[in-house]
């Protein structure tokens, strides 16, 4: 059952955030949170649809997880607010003090869900045809957004929510993930001439990668690169026959030149596979609203059928994904009014 407080005529975004945070929904575990949101929104008079999002084999799970769409009882929304249900691990319980709320998801993105629902209800009360799209899987592969894009509702605008400090994003960087695999020949480390070290090859490749001059986009900044994982070898006294590294590039502009440069770094030494690509996107701004550049990726590229996108939300990306995730209560409440104001400007 939905808690009675959630059925009050006026939604309390702080209480609603607490209710959401108290339901663990790390990626692949979004089912219970989706069930709660469906019941909550239906109880407040929204027409609600709950759509299954498949579990990938890597999750090792078969329990359901969902996208939740809430919209007008009749007709199509002209504007849809969207963000994600899932969070990164580990789960952190909710807590609060006079100024802040704390816990996994308070800013990424359960506080954003609360602000968007409160804003949508204010707009609905004034006669605006708006909707809400809450998806699973954003933190891993945008699986929910991909499912939702096949069932768009005809909206003209999409306001996606991520922590932007309540500033409109001028752009969102893309992402390119490359996996390098080097192969060698095992041997005794005292006789390196009898073996062939995969690790030595990989180190040379990664040195080339670190020396790359990556693209720079005017007003946005440079592409950035992180070598996030390295593994390989058998023992210190064994010449390594296998080594692998994973690299993530935060893209600005088109990926073609970066892909070509990465492949050239690996030529003759290692194989390279590109396992993820999310494009760089420029976004709309509105006169009079503060702006920023999102150096992170979002679901926006996978929601192309939902209307012209904007990116806006309370909270700082610098505390998201950390043990110290928090959100100022004042900022959460300000986000509600900001979402309403942006929507009205778009629909004027």
**Residues designated catalytic:** 138
- Please tell me whether residue 180 adopts helix, strand or coil conformation: strand
Task: Spell out the residues 6+ positions from residue 130 whose beta carbon is closer than 8 angstroms to its own.
Answer: 71, 72, 77, 78, 79, 80, 81, 120, 123, 124, 343
Q: Identify whether the C-beta of residue 177 lies closer than 8 Å to the C-beta of residue 246.
A: yes
Return the beta strands (E) in the chain as ranges: 47-52, 66-71, 79-84, 95-96, 100-102, 130-135, 157-160, 168-172, 174-183, 216-217, 221-222, 224-232, 242-251, 271-278, 281-282, 291-294, 308-311, 326-328
The CA distances from residue 298 to 99, 128, 138, 231, 279, in Å, are 28, 26, 7, 28, 10
Cα distance between residue 43 and residue 52, in whole Å: 21
Q: Identify whether the C-beta of residue 153 lies closer than 8 Å to the C-beta of residue 80.
A: yes
| 24 Rama class: left (phi>0) / alpha (psi -120 to 50) / beta | beta
The encoded tokens of residue 45 equal 């008079």
């Amino acid at each position: 059952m939905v808690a009675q407080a959630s059925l009050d005529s006026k939604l309390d975004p702080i209480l609603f955030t607490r209710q959401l945070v108290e339901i663990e929904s790390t990626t692949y575990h979004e089912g219970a949170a989706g069930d709660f949101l469906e019941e909550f929104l239906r109880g407040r008079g929204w027409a609600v649809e709950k759509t299954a999002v498949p579990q990938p084999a890597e999750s090792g799970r078969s329990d359901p997880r969902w996208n939740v769409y809430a919209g007008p009882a009749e007709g199509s929304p002209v504007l849809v607010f969207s963000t994600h249900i899932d969070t990164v691990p580990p789960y952190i319980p909710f807590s609060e003090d006079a100024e802040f709320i704390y816990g996994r998801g308070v800013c990424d993105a359960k506080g954003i869900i609360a602000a968007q629902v409160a804003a949508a209800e204010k707009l609905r009360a004034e006669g605006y045809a708006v909707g809400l799209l809450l998806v699973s899987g954003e933190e891993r592969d945008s699986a929910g957004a991909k499912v939702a894009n096949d069932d768009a509702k005809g909206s003209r605008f999409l306001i996606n929510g991520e922590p932007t400090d309540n500033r409109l994003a001028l752009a969102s960087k893309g992402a390119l993930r490359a996996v390098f695999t080097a192969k060698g020949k095992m041997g005794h480390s005292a006789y390196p001439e009898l073996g062939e070290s995969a690790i030595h090859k990989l180190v040379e490749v990664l040195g080339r990668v670190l020396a790359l001059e990556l693209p720079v986009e005017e007003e946005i900044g440079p592409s950035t690169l992180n070598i996030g994982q390295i593994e390989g070898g058998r023992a210190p006294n064994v010449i390594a026959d296998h080594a692998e590294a994973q690299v993530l590039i935060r893209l600005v502009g088109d990926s073609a030149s970066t892909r070509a440069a990465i492949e050239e770094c690996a030529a003759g030494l290692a194989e390279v596979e590109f396992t993820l690509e999310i494009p760089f996107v420029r976004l709309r701004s509105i006169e009079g609203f503060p702006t920023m550049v999102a150096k992170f990726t979002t679901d926006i590229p996978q929601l192309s059928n939902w209307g012209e996108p904007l990116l806006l939300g309370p909270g700082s990306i610098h505390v998201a994904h950390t043990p110290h995730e928090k959100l100022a209560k004042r900022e959460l409440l300000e986000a509600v009014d900001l979402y309403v104001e942006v929507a009205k400007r778009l629909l004027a």
